[in-house]
């Protein structure tokens, strides 16, 4: 059963500290586990309901960008680095080679024009807490000039190797998670996009 507003936990950062408000865990009594065949006690259940507070740190611009329809990446601009000019998507705060802070860049247009499928898989399975519609079409995306291969999901269309895809963003009700970014096959119309998503 989804929680009511009164049963949810919310957090702000105030004066550099987390300030939680609301309900962060609802206690529930444990239950015994019996062996039905022997009638003997085997163990107990341990119900648990928790909410974590998690910092995005230097990656926050990426997750905030998604809700604004922007795909942010990073690039090493260190003249002394052997891999200078490498563009990273997934967004990396620091260059993995020289460990200098990368430059944040907007690669939305690059993604709209050069994204294509490197690999994919379709699965009807998911784990607890999944919020994506099933089947899930995982895709791995190559972008021109980007040294890495981003993982995402295909929301509209059928995946194929080298097929061109374009990013879509949850701009109407952002969750500020990676699920705010999805892809659709090139040529998809606005009306086919999932609820809350825009190009």
Partner 1 sequence: MIKFSDRQLKIPKLMRPVYLATVGMSKFDRAFPETRTEELCIQAFTAAADFVNMTPSELKQYIHTCYYGHFADHFGDQLLGESVIHDRLGLDPLGNIGVKTGGATGGSTMWEAVKAVASGYSDCTLALGWERMDEVPTDEGNHLISAAADKDWETPLGHIYTGYYAVMAQRYWKIFGKEEDSFRDTMAEIAVKNRGYARMNPHAQAPMKITIEDVKNSPIVAYPLRALDCCLMSVGSACGIVCDEKTAYEITNNPLRIYIAAGSHTLRVADRRNMAIPLLPNETPDTYKDLAKRFPGSDRYPGFTGFLAARMAAYYAYGMAGIKDPIEDLDVIELHDAFTISDIQSYEDVGLRPYGEGRDYIESGDAYLINPQTKKPGKLPSNLSGGLIGCMHAVGATGLMQIAEIGYHIWNRWDEIHEPQEKWDAFGRKKPDDWTSLQVKGAKRGLAISHAGVGSHVTAAILMDPKNLLKED
Helix H, strand E, coil C: the string for 86-139 is CEECCCCCECCCCCCECEEEECHHHHHHHCEEEEEEEECCCCCCCCCCCCEEEE
Binding footprint of partner 1 on the chain (CB under 8 A)? 33, 35, 42-43, 46, 48, 54, 56, 59, 63, 82-83, 86, 89-90, 92, 96, 118-132, 136, 138-140, 147-153, 161, 177-179
Of 111-150, binders to Zn ion (CB under 5 A) are none
Q: Is 93 in the site for Zn ion (CB under 5 A)?
A: no
Q: Which is nearer to partner 1, 6 or 46 (CB)?
A: 46
Helix then strand count (H, E) for the chain reads: 2, 13
Q: Is 78 in the site for Zn ion (CB under 5 A)?
A: yes
Q: How far is the CB of 15 from partner 1 (least distance, A)?
A: 25
Q: Which is nearer to Zn ion, 81 or 178 (CB)?
A: 81
Residue with tokens 């995306």: 141
Q: How far is the CB of 16 from partner 1 (least distance, A)?
A: 22
Q: Which is nearer to Zn ion, 76 or 184 (CB)?
A: 76
Q: Exposed, middle or buried: residue 91 (CB in 10 Å: 0-12, 13-18, 19+)?
A: buried
Residue 105: which residues within 8 A CB-CB, separation 6 or more? 72, 73, 74, 75, 87
Nearest-angstrom CA–CA distance, 19 and 199: 35
Q: Which is nearer to Zn ion, 95 or 150 (CB)?
A: 95
Q: How far is the CB of 99 from partner 1 (least distance, A)?
A: 15
CA R_g for the chain: 22
Q: Which is nearer to partner 1, 14 or 80 (CB)?
A: 80
Q: Which of 23, 81, 147, 151 binds Zn ion (CB under 5 A)?
A: 81
Binding mask 30-69 toward Zn ion (x if CB under 5 A, else -) reads ----------------------------------------
Q: How far is the CB of 167 from partner 1 (least distance, A)?
A: 15
Neighbours of 54 (CB within 10 A): 7
């Amino acid at each position: 059963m989804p929680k009511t507003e009164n049963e949810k936990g919310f957090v702000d950062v105030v004066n550099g500290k987390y300030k939680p408000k609301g309900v962060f865990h609802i206690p529930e009594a444990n239950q015994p586990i019996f062996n039905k065949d022997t009638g003997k006690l085997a163990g107990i259940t341990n119900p648990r309901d928790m909410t974590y507070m998690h910092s995005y740190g230097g990656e926050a611009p990426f997750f905030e960008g998604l809700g604004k329809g922007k795909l942010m990446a990073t690039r090493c601009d260190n003249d002394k680095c052997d891999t200078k000019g490498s563009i990273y998507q997934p967004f990396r705060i620091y260059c993995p080679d020289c460990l200098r802070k990368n430059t944040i860049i907007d690669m939305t247009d690059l993604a709209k024009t050069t994204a294509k499928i490197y690999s994919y898989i379709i699965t009807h399975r998911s784990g607890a807490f999944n919020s994506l519609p099933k089947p899930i079409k995982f895709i791995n995306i190559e972008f021109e000039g980007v040294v890495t291969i981003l993982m995402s999901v295909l929301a509209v269309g059928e995946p194929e190797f080298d097929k061109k895809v374009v990013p879509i963003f949850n701009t109407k009700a952002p969750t500020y998670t990676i699920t705010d970014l999805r892809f659709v096959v090139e040529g998809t119309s606005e009306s086919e996009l999932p609820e809350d998503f825009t190009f």
